[in-house]
Amino acid sequence: MPDGPLIVQSDRTVLLEVAHPAAEDARHDLAVFAELERAPEHIHTYRITRLGLWNARAAGHTAEDMLATLEKYSRFPIPQSVSVDLTETVSRYGRLVIERAEDGALTLTATDAAVLSEITRARKIAALLFEKRGPQTYVIQAWARGQLKQELLKLGWPAEDLAGYTPGTPHPMSLVEDGWALREYQNKAVSNFFDHGSGVVVLPCGAGKTLVGAGAMATAQTTTLILVTNTVSARQWRSELLKRTTLTEEEIGEYSGLVKQVRPVTIATYQILTARRQGEYTHLALLDALDWGLVIYDEVHLLPAPVFKLTAELQARRRLGLTATLVREDGREGDVFSLIGPKRFDAPWKEIEAQGFISPASCYEVRIDLPEQERLEYAASADDERYRLAATAPAKLGVVKALVKKHQGERILVIGQYLDQIDELADVLKAPKLTGATPVDERERLYEEFRNGTTKLLVVSKVANFSVDLPEATVAIQVSGSFGSRQEEAQRLGRLLRPKESGLPANFYTLVARDTVDQDFAQNRQRFLAEQGYSYTILDQDNLGEAA
């Protein structure tokens, strides 16, 4: 395309002209292997990273496919250094292969003697290799499959794991497709996962990740351990499995702070796995309580760091990660790649929206002026106090009230980060509040009242970010968030994307104090949504009527 929307630069950055007629198509194709770094109004900046290229290769995209995307949309010729570098980086994936020998031993085989020589000189890797077997093959220590993959990735040689998986204890089950069926993309996600054995499926909130999990379970026909973010999520998984599969209540166990049931399908919280007593993980026995044939990690981007170590010991079991975003705020995407598995399937949000499976959404950033006294207090504050002052500015309360009035009759979530702010919002709006301190039964009651329309306004903390099914929510007002968390922005918009019986569109408002770090953090949070094709309309606090 001689006048395409992309400019590819020799430092591996790619610039996208947002107003170009082909920008949407280019964004869609580029997102397969490049990560969005900055998303101001006119030019978005992507970066081609090694991990992004390897994830794309693992999902079935070749170097030729990726270069063809760049050539199709680039305004100028692709720098030769980028073409060479991209091809060579992609070719690193799979030059080391982990397999299972006939005698049951785990082996590491290299297609390139120089690569084998390089990695065996690394002290941390040499310690994981047991003996040499053939010119380019080593036997791996039986326990070291996960750790070896981590260390090889750090060296820049991602191994392809073809060693297979234990089938686990057989446990028959099937989907009950009564008036519904897995969508084409959900079926493709399940088949891509099983073609490779382990890995991550990336789908937008509301696109049916739980059903992909159920589809994987019906294919595996084995005992399954499902790890989730919290007890509410555990109960929603249980409810969905009872509704969508032949599993009975007696076959599904909950393993949380409240209940300790081990059954053929066991749903456990991340918190219980990371609970410690006298420095020891108290519930590790759960990982071997049954011969699990499948482990599902819900919201894998939120996997607590200690669970990575536990996951390194689960390499013989099939592992399915489910997430709306591979972005991790702690930068441990490499551990997801090596220990859960590479990306096996993803479907861009806008693509699923175009098919009618998630609701269209409009995103607004409402800029709010701080009164003179508050601006002076902000300016005089220490750096570590400034975000809280900006995020909890009293001036935001009047804007929240105006937005609630504007959307009267719709189901509205008001979201805050700070407990005192949540208390104040609940009082001002005369609405129920829901925080981490709200008992699980009370949370479930409030969520159910919101679903059935008895309650149409909820003030919530970040506990509502994760795995909460509120399909009829049409408005979210984000008053404050976790600094610049992109994953949080994805989760919060995701609360609105489930298709509505009402047919109403979704509106997502972020309230930002002008000329403060609140505004800076908001730009970072919006990067992920910009990557998915959503744009933010900037509104002033005095012109809210311009929103849809």
Looking at the structure, tell me whether residues 45 and 119 fall in a common domain: no
Beta bridge partners of residue 179, listed in sequence order: none
Asked whether residue 545 carries a pLDDT value surpassing 80, the answer given is: no
Closest residue by Cα to residue 7 from 64, 49, 46: 46
The answer to whether residue 87 scores a pLDDT higher than 90 is yes
CB burial string 460-496: b at 16+ within 10 A, e below: bbbbbbbbbbbbbbbbbbbbbbbbbbbbbbbbbbbbb
Sorted by sequence, the CB contacts under 8 Å of residue 494 that are 6+ apart come out as: 204, 205, 206, 324
> Is there a single domain that holds both residue 83 and residue 110?
no
Per-residue pLDDT, 262: 95
- The pLDDT assigned to 354 comes to 79
Q: Is 466 a domain residue?
A: yes
Better pLDDT: 146 or 465:
146
Q: Which of 353, 381, 415 is the last residue of a domain?
A: 353
In terms of residues, how long is the chain?
548
**Residue 332 within a domain:** yes
Domain boundary among 311, 335, 353: 353
Mean pLDDT of 383-403: 86
Query: pLDDT by residue (tens digit) across 282-310?
Result: 888 888 889 999 999 998 888 888 888 88
Specify if 502 maps to a domain: yes
Residue 444 lies in a domain: yes
Q: How many domains does the chain have?
A: 4
CA dihedral over 521, 31, 304, 258, signed as positive or negative: positive
Confidence of residue 533 (pLDDT cuts 50, 70, 90): low
Picking from 237, 204, 186, the residue whose alpha carbon sits closest to that of residue 493 is: 204
pTM over 0.85: no
* Domain co-membership, 208 together with 341: yes
Which tens digit of pLDDT belongs to each residue from 64-82?
999 999 999 999 999 999 9
Q: How far is CA 418 from the centre of its chain?
A: 23
DSSP 8-state assignment for residue 511: E
Q: Looking at residue 360, what is its pLDDT?
A: 75
531/405 same-domain check = yes
What value does the mean pLDDT take over residues 9-17?
A: 95
**Is residue 176 situated within a structural domain?**
no
Res. 546: pLDDT tops 90: no
CA distance 4 to 20: 8
Edge-to-edge order in the sheet of strand 106-110: 129-132, 137-140, 106-110, 96-100, 160-161
Same domain, 419 and 273: no
Does some domain include residue 364? yes
- For Cα atoms 540, 542, 543, give the angle at the middle one, nearest 5 degrees: 70
Examine the pLDDT at 252 and tell me if it is beyond 90.
Answer: yes
Q: Which of 47, 66, 90 delimits the end of a domain? A: 90
CATH number at residue 292: 3.40.50.300
Query: Mean of the pLDDT values across residues 217-239?
Result: 92
Write down the pLDDT at residue 464.
63
* Pair (106, 58) in one structural domain: no
Domain match, 193 and 310 both: yes
- Determine the average pLDDT of the residues in 228-246: 91
What pLDDT does residue 93 have?
A: 94
- Residue 429 tokens, joined: 């709006």
At residue 305, the pLDDT reads: 83
136 part of a folded domain: yes
List the structure tokens of 524.
């970072």
Mean per-residue pLDDT for 114-127? 93
Domain residue limits at 13? 6-90
Task: Examine the domain organization and report whether 265 and 214 are in the same domain.
Answer: yes
Q: pLDDT by residue (tens digit) across 438-492?
A: 888 888 898 889 888 899 999 988 776 554 566 678 888 988 876 545 556 666 6
| Whether residues 86 and 220 fall in one domain | no
Which helix or strand (DSSP H or E) is residue 273 part of? Answer: helix 270-274
76 within a domain of the structure (yes/no):
yes
Q: Is residue 295 located within the same domain as residue 411?
A: no
Same domain, 241 and 335: yes
Identify which has the larger pLDDT, 339 or 232.
Answer: 339
**Mean residue pLDDT across the chain:** 87
211, pLDDT greater than 80? yes
The residue type found at 222 is: T
Tell me: do 61 and 124 sit in the same domain: no
Range in 84-88, 128-132, 179-183, 381-385 the model is least confident about: 381-385
What's the confidence (pLDDT) of residue 2? 60
pLDDT tens-digit profile of 100-110? Answer: 999 989 999 99
Q: Mean pLDDT over residues 380-400, rounded?
A: 85
Mean per-residue pLDDT, 54-72: 94
